[in-house]
Structure 1
Amino acid sequence: MYNNNKIIVGMGEALWDVLPEGKKLGGAPANFAYHVSQFGLNSRVVSAVGEDKLGTEILDNFRQKHLQGLIETVPYPTGTVQVELDSEGVPCYDIKEGVAWDNIPYTDELDKLAQQTQAVCFGSLAQRSIVSRKTIARFLDTMPDTPETLKIFDINLRQSFYTKEILCDSFKRCNILKINDEELVTVSRLFGYPGIDLQDKCWILLAKYNLKMLILTCGVNGSYVFTPGHVSFFETPTVQVADTVGAGDSFTAAFTAAIICGRSVREAHQLAVDTSAYVCTQQGAMPLLPESLTSRLA
């Protein structure tokens, strides 16, 4: 059963996705934390914004969405991402550098939060700068060392904002890895992993880094959850896609919430698939989820 004293954290970038129809609140950690909260769990987003209008608007939006956070204000511009969608609604990103979320400080308040955190989701993008990279690593190292603690590395490779060293360190610090099929090819090339079959590569990663689980998403070709000695597979539902922005984050959030609530891997996987499929039918990364989904963890 979920212990409400424990907290689920999305940590890293907070920014504006500048889409063709206007700007929308974005960043994987905020998307993750928001969807976790929709399932009734105690979530936080950890990031930083600038001393500017865009930063104030992010904080206002978080309040409107009842999304709790530990958001520091730092002397750098608030992050923005130019998002262009192709004919199938798949996003391409132009991520601005030298922004607030590159400079998340490690504070006493953040240290206290780490000690109360049961699950955290982090990615590679926010580790492109040394300041945020050190903050994320310190947070992970400060979390309770228990069998129930989940450290989810949702790899989220973007542009050229990652290195082999950053990925290797993150693999070692996490106990759940979430990766898509394209990212798996990139990682295999970087690390020189053998095997033509994607599943072989997943088994290698699972064993090498002693992971609890490895989640592999393959777009329209379905998704897998690998655990030692077992694999779960679901086909991707056919839906009318509005855009896919934030769909992967909603998958991770639903899966994490279900595991924290004591559901089986198979049940968590099903909820994750259904949640991300719904998000694909909506515009933007943070749509309100229907009760038909959120009530499944009630």
Structure 2
Amino acid sequence: MNNTIVVGMGEALWDMLPEGKKIGGAPANFAYHVSQFGLDSRVVSAVGEDELGVEILKNFHEKKLNCMIETVPYPTGTVQVELDRNGVPCYDIREGVAWDNIPFTPALEGLARQTRAVCFGSLAQRSVVSRETINRFLDVMPDGEGQYKIFDINLRQGFYTKEIICGSMRKCNILKINDEELVTISRMFGYPGIDLQDKCWILLAKYNLRMLILTCGVNGSYVFTPGEVSFVETPKVEVADTVGAGDSFTAAFVASILRGLPVNEAHRLAVATSAFVCTQNGAMPVLPARLTEGLTTE
């Protein structure tokens, strides 16, 4: 297990929140939580030659978060985030920024060859440079029984196309999607009329996926695998904000699967982790030992 590297790949940015700025981007959230479960993780992204970029690198260093982040001649990404009265974020994502321009380097190719699991999304594929880098990484990464390529769809603003979604579904072996995204994708693919579970079975079969994770907010979550489905209810908690909760879910689930836990146990731990993150401000709280201790021991 010691040579298991888990990669979060894509956007690194600042969320400009009403109360100030916080480091954001699913890849860092994912990689940080994976590392809390005792696995060797990396964030792959790019920042600008500016103070915001320097600050991101410093922050990751302080969090002991390993990264392969290139500095490129574009501004570091920022997102204006407004929270509605339920604490749910709405985003305005700046374009033409550093993480749109992640280069495919020899070092990144070397990392891909050692990667056991990678999590990538649709947002970081909005520009051709980063999209090609992500696809090359996925192609170089080994294929095999214990290798996981997790496509965590994140449909933000208009930053996705049917072509990008289809391409990513073909390259991944685990799809993570929420109920709203599933409705959008179903319309795009032309099967809007059937229930959510049937849509999941169709996608699982069509793209030959090992697993499909469907999260439905307060209505629980499902993990579909060929032949069976796991359902776990969402615990009722006092929500501080939901930023990063989905990324912590994915991280706990992947860490559990890599440690050899059955799908249902991995699913339960993922739900508990995500629920805890909802009770905390920000996307990267320190997780309590009750969540991590079962996995961090070799």
Establish whether TM, by shorter chain, passes 0.5: yes
Do the aligned residues in 2 keep the contact of 1:195 with 1:201 (CA within 8 Å)? no
Deviates more, 1:193-202 or 1:22-31: 193-202
Separation in 1 of the partners of 2:67 and 2:112? 13
- Matching residue within 110, 113, 121 for 1:112: 110
Task: Map 1:53-132 onto structure 2 (within 5 A).
Answer: 53-132=51-130
- Matching residue within 30, 33, 38 for 2:31: 33
2:64 corresponds to which letter in structure 1? H
Which residue is 1:190 aligned to?
188
Give 1:196 deviation, angstroms. 2.2
Which residue is 2:211 aligned to?
213
Which residue is 2:283 aligned to?
285
Which residue is 2:260 aligned to?
262
Which residue is 1:42 aligned to?
40
Give 1:195 deviation, angstroms. 4.2
Do the aligned residues in 2 keep the contact of 1:175 with 1:211 (CA within 8 Å)? yes
Where do 4+ consecutive residues of structure 1 move more than 3 Å? none
Separation in 1 of the partners of 2:110 and 2:47? 21
Give 1:175 deviation, angstroms. 0.1
SS in structure 1 of the partner of residue 212 of structure 2: strand
Which residue is 2:133 aligned to?
135
Separation in 1 of the partners of 2:74 and 2:124? 15
Give 1:147 deviation, angstroms. 1.1
- What are the superposed Cα offsets for residues 99-136 of structure 1, whole Å, 9 maximum, x if unpaired? 00000000000000000000000000000000000000
- Matching residue within 158, 174, 177 for 1:176: 174
Do the aligned residues in 1 keep the contact of 2:4 with 2:39 (CA within 8 Å)? no
Separation in 1 of the partners of 2:124 and 2:154? 10
- What are the superposed Cα offsets for residues 146-194 of structure 1, whole Å, 9 maximum, x if unpaired? 1111000000110100000000000000000000000000000001025
SS in structure 2 of the partner of residue 17 of structure 1: strand
Give 1:85 deviation, angstroms. 0.6
1:90 corresponds to which letter in structure 2? V
2:153 corresponds to which letter in structure 1? I
Separation in 1 of the partners of 2:132 and 2:18? 34
1:160 corresponds to which letter in structure 2? G
**Which structure 1 segments of 5+ residues have no match?**
none
SS in structure 1 of the partner of residue 151 of structure 2: strand
Deviates more, 1:79-88 or 1:168-177: 79-88
- What are the superposed Cα offsets for residues 58-114 of structure 1, whole Å, 9 maximum, x if unpaired? 000000000000000000000011111111110000000000000000000000000
Identity of aligned residues (%): 78
Which residue is 2:15 aligned to?
17
Separation in 1 of the partners of 2:191 and 2:43? 34
Separation in 2 of the partners of 1:258 and 1:25? 26
Give 1:51 deviation, angstroms. 0.1
1:236 corresponds to which letter in structure 2? T
- Residues 1:229 and 2:227 aligned together: yes
Separation in 1 of the partners of 2:14 and 2:192? 39
1:43 corresponds to which letter in structure 2? S
- Matching residue within 246, 251, 254 for 1:253: 251
Separation in 2 of the partners of 1:38 and 1:32? 10
Do the aligned residues in 2 keep the contact of 1:76 with 1:100 (CA within 8 Å)? yes
Task: Map 1:158-169 onto structure 2 (within 5 A).
Answer: 158-169=156-167
- What are the superposed Cα offsets for residues 230-275 of structure 1, whole Å, 9 maximum, x if unpaired? 0000110000000000000000000000000000000100000000
